[in-house]
Amino acid sequence: MDHMTRINLTGWDDALTAHNLTPDQINDITGDPYDRWSIARKEIHHATQHVPFIYQRALPDQPEVKAWADSLIAASREQSAGRVTTSVGRHRSLLLLGVTGTGKTHQAYGALRYLAPTGITWRWTATSSADLYAALRPRAGVDSETEFRKYAHAPLLLLDDLGAAKSSEWVEEINFRLVNHRYENQLPTILTSNVLPKELIDRVGDRVSSRLIEMCDRVVIKGGDRRKQAAA
């Protein structure tokens, strides 16, 4: 997307209002590709293209999730002080726990949409654990290490459904390498898992769970399966 291009902001009213912004401000074409409005347009465009359709209007309505996102915004601005552009900073991660259907993925994508209009370059990547393992499985014509680095080095990563796959030495190694790299480099990560805190070690192992406990703000989302309730 060209920085001079106005974008369609349908569906972004709530996200803009959350930051006291208006569509006219976002679409203020100054000609400067590095001003906050140009960056906000790019990030909104990226979110519109990459957030799954069902979460296209999601916002974080859990106070702890919004507080984490606000803290990430503040840290990114502080760490980017004096630079031409503001980029995502080093920060604690976010671990969303709860049984299936409680809205963890909604909160996760809601956080990404909430971050988009802030004028910060997020360059986020999102995947599910199942898609991650599929992308990394050895096969002809694919460099698995190059694929791994795409996720391990992402400035901001959303990893959905950690611990859902059947455990194996290979899965455990991928989980450990990914979490350990992001832990050591303080790269903000949003993780969701269907397990409860007391089950975390059994699902992902001691090494991964220990790092997650230290690196993450944990939010347990309670309630029943919203999908089943909606279908009833």
- The tens digit of pLDDT for each residue in 149-174 reads 999 999 999 999 998 877 889 999 99
38-57 tens-digit pLDDT: 999 999 999 999 999 999 99
Q: What is the pLDDT of residue 4?
A: 78
- Residue 229 — pLDDT band, cuts 50, 70, 90? low
Given a contact cutoff of 8 angstroms between Cβ atoms, the answer to whether 117 and 26 are in contact is: yes
Q: What is the pLDDT of residue 224?
A: 62
| Residue ranges covered by each domain of the chain | 59-231
Residue 232 pLDDT greater than 50, yes or no: no
Report the 3 state secondary structure along the chain. Answer: CCCCCCCCCCCCHHHHHHCCCCHHHHCCCCCCCCCHHHHHHHHHHHHHHHCCHHHCCCCCCCHHHHHHHHHHHHHHHHHCCCCCCCECCCCCEEEEECCCCCCHHHHHHHHHHHHHHHCCECCEEEEEHHHHHHHHCCCCCCCHHHHHHHHHCCCEEEEECCCCCCCCHHHHHHHHHHHHHHHHCCCCEEEEECCCHHHHHHHHCHHHHHHHHHHEEEEECCCCCHHHHHHC
Region 130-142: what's the mean pLDDT? 91
Given a contact cutoff of 8 angstroms between Cβ atoms, the answer to whether 117 and 143 are in contact is: no
Q: Which of 24-33, 67-76, 221-230 has the lowest average pLDDT?
A: 221-230
Which one, of 222, 14, 229, lies nearest residue 113 by Cα?
14
CATH superfamily of the domain spanning 59-231: P-loop containing nucleotide triphosphate hydrolases (3.40.50.300)
Q: What is the pLDDT of residue 230?
A: 55
67-101 tens-digit pLDDT: 999 999 999 999 999 999 999 999 999 999 998 88
Q: What is the pLDDT of residue 196?
A: 79
Residue 228 pLDDT greater than 70, yes or no: no
